[in-house]
């Protein structure tokens, strides 16, 4: 029997419907799907009004993803999943006092994530007192007093942990990190730790900045675009428009992915129908179905070929890079046998890829979680860097590195200080602006925060957005850890499992979302965000807040600051007039001079990016660095599989919008595991058989029950299942070297036929 307090999603194997895998992304079905989501969740008028405001210059930044907006947009750039994110936020505030009286916590734990999200927006601050079975309502004043007094009574500042998810605006994030640092710690774990941390680390070490080096405009000037370990059709739909336009201008596109993701095959822009254009565009010229974790081997193969053929930019290498000779020599260590075996890709195909690279004067490499969430996440991204350095593809129009960020402001949050390991340079500037001293000792990242909770070293945990329990690995272990905390505080918009598995006392503090009007005593406020390509711009909600009780994130933090350290900053002004937060940011952050003026420019402004702007590298040597890495060990026990955890088309991280993974043809159930048909027949498994999965890490095992097998075009020996349901299989200590990111795309598992099924058959 499942213990609901273990945090896992209740397994349910009903309702699965399978349809054909889609060959074309977007098109009319995408338009219909988003209108359906919109109208069902917010009604027709609100749908039209809201969708017209997404990513407009005077509107709000789409809460969907961090892909930038084109400068010359039509009425609105249509995005199915952006529309879903907006509709989801615009739901009625039905999760109110009455809702919590009706539903005990135990009752809610037995519901699915889909059900929890469908109940609507959070309406009122709520408290779960020690041993209580239900949440009850509490006033803002009392709730914030409770948070302040719990923080004040901690023995040491390290006993407080302050998480951030990536929707938080620059203003809220800046104020939040200032408060946490004023309290004396750098305990600022964030969703980045589980996301692009590997990219940040890999890029800082090699090109001197932890960000990408391309503009949106570069896509149209590119000869070759590599899309590695990323599913843009679902997760960055607006990127498909950029790919289509690049394609029309002659770019070649290569997709490197264990799955033939629909968006990378054919794309039909829904807006084109309006102009009578019914043709879809084939995007990828070459799809390389690499085995999970096989990218490093594949890239070594390409690098070897390019170096052997002397196909590199000698002048760039000489003037702009170091360590080329070591790098070149190291390539001899890798045999073609190993490269082909580990990548699962034949030499012929690798040669095709090398040829495309050779023929390109401007190459862009895009990647996302398929590279970052691996043990060798940092190293494999550095192989991508090697590839671009070899051809001199940095600081040149149409070329560059493009880690495609996830959450809409995750990059901005890091820029303004949400970081457990700030650099000395950053701290010095921050001290100048804030005028108080900042602790130097690095704080906890996500995994270390869970360890600290396990050791009972955490008294207060605050979560600025997000769903810590479900987003982090090892759900059962994390659930236990969270239950060791004295007070857990969730600053949220929607109900999720982190409201149900909590510390001894728990608070839910409901806030305004991106789409809503933020009116303070100083008038209507706007906030700012930074997209995936370093453009900082305004975002202003226009919808009436769904409940009059909600606070904005900046004003909530300011009220807390005023209770905790009233003398350090003028919290009252900061909380009501965001221009004063931006003035403080201008004095405290490099590159933010004149912030209030510059963000008021129509398209915002670009943060400095030395590699892109001037081909300059702020590394120790002042040059970009070639790196050499061994290949990762990709062997697993004979009867074991490698499992990756991925997103469906109808979810936003842990928020489940619906039960359709339309492109992959899976409907009505999320508890499925994709498997190669040959692997299935070898094990005597049929479509819809139910299996249990056990993950193996060092000497530990974790089992997750009742997964429905679905045959799919996936390399042999590989499996895929949806996150967050599969998180209970991800071992907490299985993390990437250097970045400490959980290896959510590399989980060694065995499968066994579910006892349930056997019982049914008997
Ligand atoms: N609609 C929607 N949009 C989102 C999100 C969402 O949940 N829903 N989440 C947002 C966030 S926070 C993020 S970080 C991004 C995530 O965006 P993605 O990184 O695209 O998301 P994942 O579903 O994790 O997909 C990873 C892709 O990597 C592939 N992959 C897995 N392992 C490997 C490997 O070893 N090698 C290679 N080459 N490929 C591999 C998978 O097949 C899959 O296509 O999307 C953002 N946008
Ligand atoms: N196994 C596995 N695990 C993963 C991943 C994976 O691919 N596989 N991906 C990882 C990645 S890339 C990421 S980024 C993390 C995501 O981790 P998180 O960012 O922690 O999770 P989300 O699901 O995005 O958070 C959703 C919650 O945020 C709240 N929310 C939404 N909008 C707002 C807002 O405007 N303000 C506030 N205060 N709250 C808001 C809502 O209450 C909602 O329930 O998960 C990681 N976990
Ligand atoms: Mo992410």
- Cβ-count burial of 290 within 10 angstroms (0-12 exposed, 13-18 middle, 19+ buried)? buried
User: What value does the mean pLDDT take over residues 29-39?
Assistant: 70
> Is 335 or 271 the better-scoring residue by pLDDT?
335
Residue 578 contacts residue 526 (beta carbons within 8 Å): yes
Whose Cα sits closest to atom 27 in ligand 1?
230
Same-fold call for 4-20+635-753 versus 34-192+420-594: no
Whose Cα sits closest to atom 14 in ligand 1?
406
> Is 133 or 276 the better-scoring residue by pLDDT?
133
Lowest mean pLDDT among 174-178, 238-242, 660-664, 756-760: 756-760
- pLDDT given for residue 75 in this prediction: 43
Q: Is cis: bond before 724, omega within 30 of 0?
A: yes
User: What value does the mean pLDDT take over residues 520-527?
Assistant: 96
Question: Which atom from ligand 2 is nearest to the alpha carbon of 646?
Answer: 7
Is the minimum distance from the CB of 556 to ligand 2 under 6 angstroms? Answer: no
Question: Which atom from ligand 2 is nearest to the alpha carbon of 406?
Answer: 14
Q: What is the CATH number of domain 34-192+420-594?
A: 3.40.50.740
Question: pLDDT for 399-433, tens place per residue?
Answer: 999 999 999 899 999 999 999 999 999 999 999 99
Residue 662 contacts residue 22 (beta carbons within 8 Å): yes
Give the pLDDT band (50/70/90) at residue 761. Answer: very low
User: What value does the mean pLDDT take over residues 707-718?
Assistant: 98
Instruction: Find the 745 Cα to ligand 1 centroid distance in Å.
Output: 10
Instruction: Find the 219 Cα to ligand 3 centroid distance in Å.
Output: 22
Instruction: Find the 164 Cα to ligand 2 centroid distance in Å.
Output: 9
Gap between the Cα atoms of 559 and 443, Å rounded: 24
Residue 471 contacts residue 732 (beta carbons within 8 Å): no
Instruction: Find the 165 Cα to ligand 3 centroid distance in Å.
Output: 9
Ligand number, closest to the Cα atom of 403: 1
Gap between the Cα atoms of 31 and 81, Å rounded: 10
Is the minimum distance from the CB of 403 to ligand 2 under 6 angstroms? Answer: no
Q: Indicate if the pLDDT at residue 466 is higher than 80.
A: yes
The widest CA-to-CA distance across the chain, in whole angstroms, is: 74
Residue 401 contacts residue 207 (beta carbons within 8 Å): yes
Residues 6+ apart with CB under 8 A from 760: none
Give the pLDDT band (50/70/90) at residue 56. Answer: low
Is the minimum distance from the CB of 95 to ligand 2 under 6 angstroms? Answer: no
Whose Cα sits closest to atom 46 in ligand 1?
406
Residue 652 contacts residue 84 (beta carbons within 8 Å): yes
Task: Give the Cα-Cα-Cα angle 604, 607, 613 (nearest 5 degrees).
Answer: 120
Question: Which atom from ligand 2 is nearest to the alpha carbon of 491?
Answer: 38
Gap between the Cα atoms of 168 and 174, Å rounded: 10
DSSP string spanning 666-715? EES---EEEE-HHHHHHTT--TT-EEEEEEEETTEEEEEEEEEEEE-S--
User: What value does the mean pLDDT take over residues 261-278?
Assistant: 71
The secondary structure element, H or E, covering residue 429 is helix 424-434
Give the pLDDT band (50/70/90) at residue 375. Answer: very high
Gap between the Cα atoms of 202 and 214, Å rounded: 16
Gap between the Cα atoms of 214 and 568, Å rounded: 39
**Which residue(s) pair with 487 in the sheet?**
460, 505
Ligand 1: residue of 21, 80, 235, 661 to mutate (most ligand atoms within 8 A of CB) is: 235
Instruction: Find the 231 Cα to ligand 1 centroid distance in Å.
Output: 5
**Which residue(s) pair with 651 in the sheet?**
656
Q: Indicate if the pLDDT at residue 740 is higher than 70.
A: yes
Whose Cα sits closest to atom 4 in ligand 1?
235
Residue 591 contacts residue 610 (beta carbons within 8 Å): no
User: What value does the mean pLDDT take over residues 663-680?
Assistant: 97
Question: Which atom from ligand 2 is nearest to the alpha carbon of 165?
Answer: 19
Work out the end-to-end distance of the chain between its first and last CA atoms, rounded to an integer number of angstroms: 20
Q: Indicate if the pLDDT at residue 575 is higher than 80.
A: yes
**Which residue(s) pair with 667 in the sheet?**
17, 660
Is the minimum distance from the CB of 192 to ligand 2 under 6 angstroms? Answer: no
Residues 6+ apart with CB under 8 A from 389: 206, 316, 317, 320, 321, 624, 626
Give backbone dihedrals phi and psi of 574, rounded to 5 degrees, phi first: -60, -40
Gap between the Cα atoms of 165 and 307, Å rounded: 42
Is the minimum distance from the CB of 645 to ligand 2 under 6 angstroms? Answer: yes
- pLDDT given for residue 400 in this prediction: 98
Decide: helix, strand or coil at residue 410: helix
Is the minimum distance from the CB of 561 to ligand 2 under 6 angstroms? Answer: no
Ligand 1: residue of 343, 745, 747, 748 to mutate (most ligand atoms within 8 A of CB) is: 745
Gap between the Cα atoms of 760 and 762, Å rounded: 6
The shares of helix, strand and coil residues in the chain, as percent rounded to the nearest 5, are: 40, 20, 40
Whose Cα sits closest to atom 39 in ligand 1?
229
Q: Indicate if the pLDDT at residue 621 is higher than 80.
A: yes
Ligand number, closest to the Cα atom of 194: 2
Residues 6+ apart with CB under 8 A from 44: none
Domain ranges of the chain: 4-20+635-753, 34-192+420-594, 197-403
Distance of CA 630 to the CA centre of its chain: 27
Instruction: Find the 206 Cα to ligand 3 centroid distance in Å.
Output: 22
Question: pLDDT for 88-105, tens place per residue?
Answer: 998 999 999 999 999 999
Question: pLDDT for 533-558, tens place per residue?
Answer: 899 999 999 899 999 999 999 999 99
- pLDDT given for residue 49 in this prediction: 65
User: What value does the mean pLDDT take over residues 140-151?
Assistant: 98
Whose Cα sits closest to atom 36 in ligand 2?
465
- pLDDT given for residue 475 in this prediction: 98
User: What value does the mean pLDDT take over residues 423-446?
Assistant: 97
Q: Indicate if the pLDDT at residue 26 is higher than 90.
A: no
Ligand 1: residue of 229, 384, 466, 717 to mutate (most ligand atoms within 8 A of CB) is: 229
Ligand 2: residue of 161, 462, 653 to mutate (most ligand atoms within 8 A of CB) is: 653
Could you give the percent of the chain with pLDDT greater than 90? Answer: 85
- pLDDT given for residue 63 in this prediction: 82
Is the minimum distance from the CB of 252 to ligand 2 under 6 angstroms? Answer: no
CATH 2.40.40.20 correct for 4-20+635-753: yes
Question: Which atom from ligand 2 is nearest to the alpha carbon of 726?
Answer: 1
Whose Cα sits closest to atom 1 in ligand 1?
235
Ligand number, closest to the Cα atom of 471: 2
User: What value does the mean pLDDT take over residues 256-283?
Assistant: 77
Gap between the Cα atoms of 511 and 653, Å rounded: 19
Is the minimum distance from the CB of 467 to ligand 2 under 6 angstroms? Answer: yes
Q: Indicate if the pLDDT at residue 273 is higher than 70.
A: no
Distance of CA 593 to the CA centre of its chain: 29
Instruction: Give all strands of the β-sheet with 505-510 in edge-to-edge order.
Output: 136-137, 126-128, 505-510, 487-492, 460-464, 160-164
Tell me the pTM.
Answer: 0.96
DSSP string spanning 641-658? EEEEEE--TTEETTEE--
Gap between the Cα atoms of 140 and 196, Å rounded: 35
Question: pLDDT for 205-230, tens place per residue?
Answer: 999 999 999 999 999 999 999 999 99
- b/e sequence 658-685, b meaning 16+ C-beta within 10 Å: bbbbbbbbbbebbbbbbbbeebbeeeeb
Give the pLDDT band (50/70/90) at residue 762. Answer: very low
- pLDDT given for residue 74 in this prediction: 43
HEC sequence for 365-408: EEECHHHHCCCCHHHHHHHHHHHHHHCCCCCCCCCEEEECCCCC
The candidate with the shortest Cα–Cα distance to 347, out of 333, 364, 334, 361, is 334
- pLDDT given for residue 73 in this prediction: 45
Gap between the Cα atoms of 567 and 579, Å rounded: 20
Cβ atoms within 10 Å of 58's Cβ, excluding its own: 11
User: What value does the mean pLDDT take over residues 465-478?
Assistant: 98
Q: Indicate if the pLDDT at residue 441 is higher than 80.
A: yes
Q: Indicate if the pLDDT at residue 760 is higher than 50.
A: no
CATH 3.30.450.20 correct for 197-403: no
> Is 267 or 149 the better-scoring residue by pLDDT?
149
Whose Cα sits closest to atom 22 in ligand 2?
466
Give backbone dihedrals phi and psi of 242, rounded to 5 degrees, phi first: -65, -40
Ligand number, closest to the Cα atom of 67: 1
Cβ atoms within 10 Å of 618's Cβ, excluding its own: 12
User: What value does the mean pLDDT take over residues 422-450?
Assistant: 98
Is the minimum distance from the CB of 103 to ligand 2 under 6 angstroms? Answer: no
Residues with CB under 6 A from ligand 1: 64-65, 81, 195, 228-231, 234-236, 256-259, 261, 290, 292-293, 295, 368-370, 406-407, 644, 646-647, 651-653, 745
Lowest mean pLDDT among 44-53, 424-433, 665-674: 44-53
Whose Cα sits closest to atom 15 in ligand 1?
406
Give the pLDDT band (50/70/90) at residue 729. Answer: very high
Q: CA quadruple 744, 750, 755, 756: dihedral positive or negative?
A: positive
Whose Cα sits closest to atom 31 in ligand 1?
370
Ligand number, closest to the Cα atom of 407: 1
Q: Indicate if the pLDDT at residue 598 is higher than 70.
A: yes
Give the pLDDT band (50/70/90) at residue 532. Answer: confident
Instruction: Find the 404 Cα to ligand 1 centroid distance in Å.
Output: 10
Question: Which atom from ligand 1 is nearest to the alpha carbon of 195?
Answer: 14
Is the minimum distance from the CB of 494 to ligand 2 under 6 angstroms? Answer: yes
Helices (H), 214-323: 232-235, 237-248, 295-308, 314-320
């Amino acid at each position: 029997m499942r213990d609901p307090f273990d945090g896992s999603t209740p397994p349910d194997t009903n309702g699965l419907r399978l349809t054909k895998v889609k060959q074309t992304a977007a098109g009319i079905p995408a338009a219909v799907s988003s209108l359906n989501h919109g109208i069902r969740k917010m009604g027709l008028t609100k749908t039209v009004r809201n969708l017209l405001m997404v990513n407009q210059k005077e509107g709000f930044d789409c809460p969907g993803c961090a892909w930038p907006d084109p400068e010359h947009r039509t009425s609105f750039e249509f995005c199915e999943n952006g529309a879903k994110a907006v509709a989801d936020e615009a739901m009625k505030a039905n999760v109110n006092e009455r809702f919590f009286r009706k539903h005990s916590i135990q009752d809610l734990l037995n519901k699915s994530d889909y059900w929890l999200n469908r109940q609507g927006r959070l309406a009122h601050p709520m408290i779960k007192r020690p041993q209580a079975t239900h949440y009850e309502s509490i006033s803002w004043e009392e709730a914030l007093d409770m948070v302040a007094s719990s923080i004040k009574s901690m023995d040491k500042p390290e006993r407080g942990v302050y998480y951030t998810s990536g929707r938080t605006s620059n203003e809220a994030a800046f104020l939040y990190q200032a408060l946490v640092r004023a309290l004396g710690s750098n305990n600022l774990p964030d969703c980045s730790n589980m996301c692009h941390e590997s990219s940040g680390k890999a890029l800082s070490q090699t090109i001197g900045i932890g960000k990408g080096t391309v503009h949106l405009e570069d896509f149209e000037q590119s000869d070759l675009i590599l899309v590695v370990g990323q599913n843009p059709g679902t997760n960055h739909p607006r990127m498909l428009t950029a790919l289509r336009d690049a394609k029309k201008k002659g770019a070649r596109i290569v997709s490197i992915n264990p799955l033939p993701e629909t968006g990378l095959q054919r794309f039909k822009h829904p807006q084109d129908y309006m102009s009578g254009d019914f043709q879809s565009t084939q995007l990828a010229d070459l799809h390389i179905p690499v085995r999970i974790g096989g990218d490093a081997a594949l890239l070594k193969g390409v690098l070897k070929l390019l170096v052997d053929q002397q196909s590199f930019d000698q002048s760039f290498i000489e003037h702009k890079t170091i360590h080329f000779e070591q790098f070149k020599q190291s390539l001899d260590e890798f045999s073609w046998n190993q490269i082909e075996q580990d990548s699962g890709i034949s030499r012929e195909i690798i040669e095709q890829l090398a040829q495309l690279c050779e023929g390109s004067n401007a190459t862009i490499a895009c990647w996302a979680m398929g590279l970052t969430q691996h043990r060798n996440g940092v190293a494999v991204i550095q192989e991508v860097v090697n590839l671009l350095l070899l051809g001199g593809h940095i600081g040149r129009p149409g070329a560059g590195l493009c880690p495609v960020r996830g959450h809409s402001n995750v990059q901005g949050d890091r820029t303004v200080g949400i970081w457990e390991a700030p650099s000395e340079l950053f701290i010095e500037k921050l001290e100048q602006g804030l005028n108080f001293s900042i602790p130097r000792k690095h704080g906890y990242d996500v995994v270390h925060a869970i360890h600290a909770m396990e050791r009972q070293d955490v008294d207060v945990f605050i979560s600025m957005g997000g769903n810590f329990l479900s987003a982090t690995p090892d759900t059962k272990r994390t659930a236990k850890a969270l239950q060791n905390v004295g007070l857990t505080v969730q600053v949220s918009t929607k109900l999720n499992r982190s409201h149900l598995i909590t510390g001894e006392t728990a608070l839910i503090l409901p806030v305004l979302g991106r789409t809503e009007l933020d009116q303070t005593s100083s008038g209507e406020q706007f906030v700012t965000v930074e997209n995936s390509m370093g453009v900082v711009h305004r975002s202003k909600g226009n919808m009436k807040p769904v409940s009059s009780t909600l606070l904005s994130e900046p004003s909530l933090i300011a009220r807390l600051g005023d209770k905790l350290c009233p003398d350090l900053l003028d919290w009252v002004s900061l909380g009501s007039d965001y221009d004063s937060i931006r003035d403080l940011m201008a004095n405290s952050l490099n590159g933010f001079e004149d912030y209030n003026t510059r963000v008021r420019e129509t398209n915002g402004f670009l943060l400095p990016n030395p590699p892109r702007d001037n081909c300059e590298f702020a590394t120790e040597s002042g040059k970009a660095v070639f790196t050499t890495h061994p290949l990762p060990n990709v062997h697993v026990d004979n009867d074991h599989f490698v499992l990756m955890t991925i997103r469906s088309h109808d979810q936003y991280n842990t928020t489940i919008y619906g039960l359709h993974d339309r492109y992959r043809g899976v409907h009505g159930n999320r508890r499925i595991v994709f498997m190669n048909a040959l692997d299935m027949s070898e094990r005597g498994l049929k479509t819809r058989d139910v299996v249990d999965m056990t993950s193996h890490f060092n000497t530990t095992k974790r089992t997750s029950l009742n997964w429905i097998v679905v045959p799919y075009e996936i390399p042999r020996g590989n499996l895929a299942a949806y996150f967050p349901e599969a998180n209970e299989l991800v071992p907490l200590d299985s993390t990437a070297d250097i970045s400490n990111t959980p290896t959510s795309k590399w989980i060694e598992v065995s499968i066994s036929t579910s006892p349930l099924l056997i019982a049914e058959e008997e």
